[in-house]
Structure 1
């Protein structure tokens, strides 16, 4: 009997598929995201389903404002991207303030929000969380905003978001995903990661800058937030030592050089005044290196700060050049790359004729710290006590409050990425959630929130986040039962103070109701002992500092 050959049925290769939510989570993983700050809602259920199969941790704040500040604190403490995810509508509007702060202070924050299904966009049909144009709400406060319109687009959109975060000036970006795109299936493909090399300076401009240094007698350096990174800080210290330059910092530049470096004067203060002792060092120099600072209106008191000329201006954002001070050399570059290039030329012999001596700088530093106005007398003893209790690498998040204004010059910072202050937008309530985000970024470092009694009540509910995760963050609340800065401004303007005195909770009892450790202190020595104990503990603490009200 003859056998009959049965033809083989060709195999059909099945394309592996995934949902838009799964594609989004895999893209975040590929770009190094290890934690997201998010409050779940019915609009993010698909994302949460995808996160179940991911190594990315979720941290639950008590308000989206907290999520935004936590992502910002994570970014500031690590230099990496802090990620916050919100639901449609009110979730996004709640996070707008901290994202505006991140924009003003040049922080790498990625905000991801859902929006209504594609057919419903732009319509007001009475659907949950609908808005006329959600994307338009966030555009003014981010560097880049984009809405994906298909699941297949998510891979490239996330890659572009991260490219925007690392290319040029670091500012927040926003990605919006319609609900039906999260559910839509698409072909699975490898996530896309776009490498962004640091911006290198132009060699001939470096040569010109080096010649200016060689022609100079002594050099003054002003370092801003763009110079705050591990590599930039190391190179800046080397440059200062190599040429005997004196280094001052802006508010956001604290940490760009250790404040106990023999050539560092520290931050000149919260705002520039004509009688600032640092002006003596400016007058004694004949060239300025401004690095990582836009020399903004508040930093320079509308351009009245007497920076020595010529100016070598180094910044990643070319829009900052020549705005208030003409630059003899404008170097658009990553600060570390520019410093490395200058050091090569200095080592080749391009050095100024003279140096600042440490004793000269120490004399001015003592003048800067011996200012005896009311704020200095009131707050410096507390700041000295707190600084003594903390290790050099402790991260401190400072709120917009009187003690933190004084801390700009009186609270030394020794390590880059260990100081945060809401300088640009000037928000209240950032310190507690920023410290939480920083602790997730650098669990090896103590994290401390320095708050006023008014400011902390903007985000005091994030004590619940500390309680839920038993996160060892130290919260120090300075309590004078008043919005003191506003009260002073009213009095100076001849306005009768009103709506500035506060009825506060018992902060110790409030913290204890969350099962947190809490203590009340009434003098700097007690604060030092309490903070020293909290640093070595592995659980959260609240320290309530009773200041008493101003007369």
Structure 2
């Protein structure tokens, strides 16, 4: 007899899943039965939130859905924070959980891990489906993967009752092929007409352009258009004369956008944490833009002269066939914006240039590395201005949903996704304490993750915000871990440096396995 739990793993493997992140429990034992075949690798985090953060990091690097496997009740509620982060950043994530026996659902009997209505709780965040019998498994998987591959990516949840997991299950049919519709030709023609008539085009590139970097560069060169990158687009076109790796919240970047006679927005939700992170208003009028987004709801939220409902890669390919080659001052406009944007940093916060130099030291020491950030000061600085040297190689949770403790799990997921590629987790001492136990997973899996802990002995960014608001500074000085013995407890090599970019680069070059570097902040 082959069970639902075993067929689940077969079905995941048939859909290209190679890794799941999860913690087994009595409510998922039958789901784990199928993992014994070796079709899918299992990585064990220390907390279900870490499992889903790992799935997030894995998905961002591979472009495939990251999968987390958790128990009913607390396992799923622990994962919800990471699911919300994935929703905010359009990261494809499948969370599979148990749920109590069918006859008990919604009855309030007081079973272990019982929730009043687990599916209803998740439905407020993302699509969810309950597999009520063996015959429903294949359809649930097909619908989940269709949701993950079409429209705006994000989390999807499947729950399987404990009395369904062990039921006999016939072999699953072949997965249903998922086809993403292409852009409408009429909309492409309207967009190309506006772009061809314009003389000073600016492109706003969001996370939807990831994995389409060649098309983005070709389109930018054809239009002679500076490319303003949101955080989730960093790494594309590294060092290119047209790239502007700076936040649209900066005055210099806003000036570049305002001076354009045509804006082309590609795969960006135009959210405040990218476009108005200081909540001061003054975002340039974008109502005349050409906008491309895979999500119809997103297109409806901001008026545009031309709205193209499509994947950014398909839309760029279509536009490239229609736009005429331009020559002009695009590179000069981009260079002026870069210089002025970087010059703004010390006026925003005097230590920012030094913090940015530390991030650039990481890039110099480990070319082509993946840098995964948490909410910490050097990450905030680099989100304002930083040009990474690997497409998709800079990401963090310091925009959008902004979950603290994201970094370690996401860095581990990234390292699993890209074997042999150096991975750096840049996290503050405060954020580390949200998910400190996950560092052991890097040791268990022998992953080349270096954890750089920015130790300013508290929540200094929040303290600075309180100071700026003339509010008493309360709750911002939690005592940090003693990182040298903590690293020893995790079996991680340890080094300490000050706020010296050269010392940090030297420390990074000295080791290639999992390790911890403490940056002692004044």
Partners of 1:36 and 1:192 in 2: how far apart?
Answer: 21
Q: CA offset at residue 455 of structure 1?
A: 0.7
Q: Is the 8 A contact 1:220 1:308 kept in 2?
A: no
CA 529–191 in structure 1, closer or farther in 2 if over 3 Å, else same: farther
Residue deviations 1:256-283, cap 9 Å, x none? Answer: x2231111111226xx14xx11233224
TM alignment of 1:131-530, pairs within 5 A: 131-142=115-126, 144-186=127-169, 188-229=170-211, 232-255=212-235, 257-268=236-247, 272-273=249-250, 276-301=251-276, 304-307=282-285, 310-324=288-302, 326-346=303-323, 350-351=324-325, 354-371=327-344, 372-373=346-347, 374-391=350-367, 393-422=368-397, 423-522=399-498, 523-530=500-507
Structure 1 residues not aligned, in runs of 5+:
1-16
Residue deviations 1:470-502, cap 9 Å, x none? Answer: 221111110100201211121122221111012
Residue deviations 1:208-251, cap 9 Å, x none? Answer: 1111112111200000111111xx21101011111211110112
Q: Is the 8 A contact 1:108 1:170 kept in 2?
A: yes
Q: CA offset at residue 383 of structure 1?
A: 1.9
Partners of 2:282 and 2:267 in 1: how far apart?
Answer: 19
Partners of 1:202 and 1:54 in 2: how far apart?
Answer: 43
What does residue 546 of structure 1 align with? 520
Q: CA offset at residue 125 of structure 1?
A: 2.2
Partners of 1:279 and 1:311 in 2: how far apart?
Answer: 14
Partners of 1:60 and 1:191 in 2: how far apart?
Answer: 30
Q: Is the 8 A contact 2:420 2:448 kept in 1?
A: no
Residue deviations 1:403-461, cap 9 Å, x none? Answer: 11101134322332212122221110101110100111111321111101101110111
Q: CA offset at residue 316 of structure 1?
A: 0.4
1:109 aligns with 2:90: no
CA 191–304 in structure 1, closer or farther in 2 if over 3 Å, else same: farther
Q: Is the 8 A contact 2:497 2:503 kept in 1?
A: yes
Partners of 2:490 and 2:270 in 1: how far apart?
Answer: 44
SS of 1:239 mapped into structure 2: helix
Q: CA offset at residue 173 of structure 1?
A: 0.2
SS of 1:449 mapped into structure 2: strand
Q: Is the 8 A contact 2:286 2:304 kept in 1?
A: no
Q: Is the 8 A contact 2:449 2:515 kept in 1?
A: yes
TM alignment of 1:19-38, pairs within 5 A: 19-38=3-22
Partners of 2:465 and 2:13 in 1: how far apart?
Answer: 48
Partners of 1:60 and 1:77 in 2: how far apart?
Answer: 19
What does residue 63 of structure 1 align with? 47
Total equivalences in the alignment: 514
Q: CA offset at residue 97 of structure 1?
A: 0.5
Structure 2 residues not aligned, in runs of 5+:
none
SS of 1:237 mapped into structure 2: helix
| CA radius of gyration, larger in | 1
Q: CA offset at residue 133 of structure 1?
A: 0.9
1:95 aligns with 2:68: no
Q: CA offset at residue 291 of structure 1?
A: 0.4
Partners of 2:230 and 2:160 in 1: how far apart?
Answer: 38
Partners of 2:115 and 2:263 in 1: how far apart?
Answer: 49
Q: CA offset at residue 307 of structure 1?
A: 4.9
Residue deviations 1:144-194, cap 9 Å, x none? Answer: 1000100121111111111110011111100000001001113x2234312
Q: CA offset at residue 309 of structure 1?
A: 6.2
Q: Is the 8 A contact 1:26 1:191 kept in 2?
A: no
Q: CA offset at residue 321 of structure 1?
A: 2.1
Q: Is the 8 A contact 2:71 2:99 kept in 1?
A: yes
SS of 1:321 mapped into structure 2: helix
Partners of 2:106 and 2:193 in 1: how far apart?
Answer: 58
Residue deviations 1:293-351, cap 9 Å, x none? Answer: 12123433377322566310000012122534x211100001011000110112xxx34
SS of 2:419 mapped into structure 1: coil
SS of 1:502 mapped into structure 2: coil
Q: Is the 8 A contact 1:246 1:356 kept in 2?
A: no
Partners of 1:356 and 1:340 in 2: how far apart?
Answer: 24
SS of 2:204 mapped into structure 1: strand
SS of 1:432 mapped into structure 2: helix
Q: Is the 8 A contact 1:286 1:309 kept in 2?
A: no
Partners of 2:110 and 2:288 in 1: how far apart?
Answer: 61
Partners of 1:309 and 1:91 in 2: how far apart?
Answer: 44
